[in-house]
């Protein structure tokens, strides 16, 4: 794994505009940055990222079965009591999942470490699946990269295949997000594009325009009943909204399904550690009250915890409300404290690799139950935020 200066394509901004990639900069700073890129060999991808991510996903599914059978864990993960049956039924029926993204610390040496799983509403998808691939093709055509250079990126094709597994041809699927949030809309359209490739009907509706029919079904702003809905709107919010009591009887199939409320929740981290303590791809993680009370499982990880801790809320976005502690003080903390009111988990601090002063995080994409692509975000900070840069990657031939 290397960080290499290749230089940017002279026309990359025009290509971004042409492709509809309108958020290539954010808050006046570059978000897409191809001046330097990350290079890997095939073994690093297959053994260091792809296989561990698939194994972690399988472990998360085992954890879901464990959580739905435990009232204590459903409560600790802050699942509203009124919707326990909805979540448990979703799992019992094996309602199909579509995608997710593991965030991993990896430097090419030693096992990748899972820092969280964005299993419900992950973004950064368009740039990983589409614009990153265009970059690779352009750089090979220009002779900047050698013939035979590759990329860990089978995302578009994998989405098409997954839609074909879930739905019959000709099925109409609605897609929803807040239309004015450009990155969210881009993510939804990337997935809808794949649905169309799988011969699905794909209809976008702004989430604020979804209504309830007299029969208790969800409908779009043209009065069409929604039988299947991909929603870029998290379950922790959906289950607390006024319309939540309509979900169970609506007859709507949701992507992601309700059981993903357990996997996208950072409470999955201490549950995984309880179930798979010592697994090489996991970091010691605990519910905050167990950490304060120094329970037995916490004491067994005292050496790792002595190197530092990361405190995270059960629910948060873009690094908000994260605090990193080391040597008895705060090493780094999010400026955005918007999720401080939620219960916290405590995770052992793991040193991130540093390349030219930047710290990368690997986003390993799961489609169905396989890892089929990746993207990289980097920042000088230890906390990856909404403004952290996206970096393309390639695999040496």
Residues 141, 159 within the same domain: no
Domain assignment present for 16: no
Residues 281, 218 within the same domain: no
Q: How far apart are CA 316 and CA 127, in angstroms?
A: 22
Domain of 315 in residue numbering reads as 1-8+42-146+264-397
For the beta carbon of residue 284, count every other beta carbon within 10 angstroms: 24
Q: How far apart are CA 125 and CA 118, in angstroms?
A: 12
Domain assignment present for 26: no
Give the burial string for 60-94 (b: 16+ CB within 10 Å, else e).
Answer: bbebbeebbeeeebbebbbbeeebeebbbbbbeee
Residues 113, 188 within the same domain: no
> How far does CA 111 lie from the centroid of its chain?
20
Domain assignment present for 322: yes
Show which of 221, 255, 289 is a domain's final residue: 255
Residue 386 is predicted with a pLDDT of 87
Residues 122, 270 within the same domain: yes
Percentage helix, strand, coil for the chain under 3-state DSSP, each rounded to 5: 35, 25, 40
Q: How far apart are CA 298 and CA 109, in angstroms?
A: 27
Show which of 200, 228, 255 is a domain's final residue: 255
Q: How far apart are CA 8 and CA 25, in angstroms?
A: 15
Stated as kind and residue range, the H or E segment containing 389 is strand 389-391
The string of pLDDT tens digits covering residues 228-286 is 999 999 999 999 999 999 999 999 999 999 999 999 999 999 999 999 999 999 999 99
Q: Are 314 and 74 in contact (CB under 8 A)?
A: no
Residue 233 belongs to a domain with what CATH number? 3.40.50
Residues 205, 283 within the same domain: no
The string of pLDDT tens digits covering residues 332-387 is 999 999 999 999 999 999 999 999 999 999 999 999 999 999 999 999 999 999 88
Residues 171, 204 within the same domain: yes
**DSSP SS3 for 59:** helix
Q: Are strands 323-326 and 228-231 parallel, antiparallel or unpaired?
A: unpaired
The pLDDT tens digits along the chain (397 residues) read 999 999 999 999 999 999 999 999 987 889 999 999 999 999 999 999 999 999 999 999 999 999 999 999 999 999 999 999 999 999 999 999 999 999 999 999 989 999 999 999 999 999 999 999 999 999 999 999 999 999 999 999 999 999 999 999 999 999 999 999 999 999 999 999 999 999 999 999 999 999 999 999 999 999 999 999 999 999 999 999 999 999 999 999 999 999 999 999 999 999 999 999 999 999 999 999 999 999 999 999 999 999 999 999 999 988 999 999 999 999 999 999 999 999 999 999 999 999 999 999 999 999 999 999 999 999 999 999 988 999 999 999 9
What are 176's two structure tokens? 């929803």
Q: How far apart are CA 167 and CA 220, in angstroms?
A: 20
Strand partners, 228: 253
Residues 56, 188 within the same domain: no
Domain assignment present for 283: yes
Q: How far apart are CA 190 and CA 7, in angstroms?
A: 27
Residues 250, 395 within the same domain: no
What are 306's two structure tokens? 């002595």
Q: Are 167 and 202 in contact (CB under 8 A)?
A: no
Residues 211, 318 within the same domain: no
Residues 234, 139 within the same domain: no
Domain assignment present for 224: yes
Show which of 202, 229, 255 is a domain's final residue: 255
**DSSP SS3 for 158:** helix
Burial class (CB in 10 A: 0-12, 13-18, 19+), 143: exposed
Residues 76, 202 within the same domain: no
Q: How far apart are CA 41 and CA 112, in angstroms?
A: 15
Q: Taking Cα atoms as reference points, which of 171, 164, 159, 245 lies closest to residue 202?
A: 171
Residue 28 is predicted with a pLDDT of 80
Task: Tell me the CB-side half-sphere exposure of residue 245, using CA atoms within 13 A.
Answer: 2
Residues 3, 85 within the same domain: yes
The total number of structural domains in the chain stands at: 2
What are 373's two structure tokens? 């692509």
Q: Taking Cα atoms as reference points, which of 51, 37, 42 lies closest to residue 112?
A: 51
Domain assignment present for 166: yes
φ, ψ of residue 60 to 5 degrees: the values are -65, -40
Domain assignment present for 22: no
Domain assignment present for 15: no
What are 301's two structure tokens? 């990880």
Q: Taking Cα atoms as reference points, which of 348, 132, 162 lies closest to residue 256?
A: 162
């Amino acid at each position: 794994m290397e960080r290499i200066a290749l230089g940017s394509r002279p026309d990359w901004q025009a290509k971004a505009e042409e492709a509809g990639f309108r958020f290539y900069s954010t808050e006046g700073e570059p978000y897409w940055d191809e001046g330097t890129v990350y290079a890997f060999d095939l073994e690093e991808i297959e053994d260091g990222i792809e296989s561990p991510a698939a194994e972690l996903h399988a472990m998360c599914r085992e954890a879901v079965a464990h959580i739905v059978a435990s009232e204590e864990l459903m409560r600790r993960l802050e699942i509203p009591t009124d919707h326990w049956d909805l979540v448990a039924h979703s799992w019992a029926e094996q309602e199909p999942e579509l995608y997710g993204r593991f965030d991993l610390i990896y430097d090419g040496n030693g096992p990748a470490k899972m820092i969280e799983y964005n299993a419900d509403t992950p973004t950064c998808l368009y740039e990983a699946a589409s614009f990153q691939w265009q970059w690779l093709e352009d750089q090979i055509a220009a002779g900047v990269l050698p013939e035979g250079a590759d990329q860990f990126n089978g995302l578009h094709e994998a989405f098409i295949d997954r839609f074909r597994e879930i739905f019959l041809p000709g099925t109409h699927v609605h897609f929803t997000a807040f239309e004015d949030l450009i990155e969210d809309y881009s993510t939804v359209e990337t997935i809808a594009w794949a649905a169309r490739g799988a011969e699905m009907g794909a209809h976008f509706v702004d989430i604020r325009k979804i209504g309830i029919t007299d029969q208790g079904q969800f409908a779009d702003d043209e009065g069409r009943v929604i039988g299947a809905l991909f929603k870029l709107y998290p379950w922790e919010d959906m289950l607390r909204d006024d319309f939540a009591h309509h979900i169970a009887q609506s007859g709507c199939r949701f992507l992601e399904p309700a059981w993903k409320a357990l996997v996208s929740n950072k409470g999955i981290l201490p549950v995984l550690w309880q179930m798979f303590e010592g697994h090489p791809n996991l970091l010691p993680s605990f519910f905050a009250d167990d950490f304060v009370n120094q329970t037995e499982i916490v004491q067994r990880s005292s050496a790792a915890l002595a190197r530092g801790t990361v405190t995270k809320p059960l629910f948060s976005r873009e690094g908000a409300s994260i605090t990193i502690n080391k040597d008895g003080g705060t090493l780094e903390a999010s400026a955005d404290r918007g999720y401080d009111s939620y219960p916290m988990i405590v995770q052992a601090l793991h040193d991130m690799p540093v390349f030219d002063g930047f710290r990368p995080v690997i986003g390993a994409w799961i489609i169905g139950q396989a890892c089929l692509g990746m993207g990289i975000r980097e920042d000088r900070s230890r906390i990856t935020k909404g403004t952290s840069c996206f970096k393309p990657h390639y695999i040496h031939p």
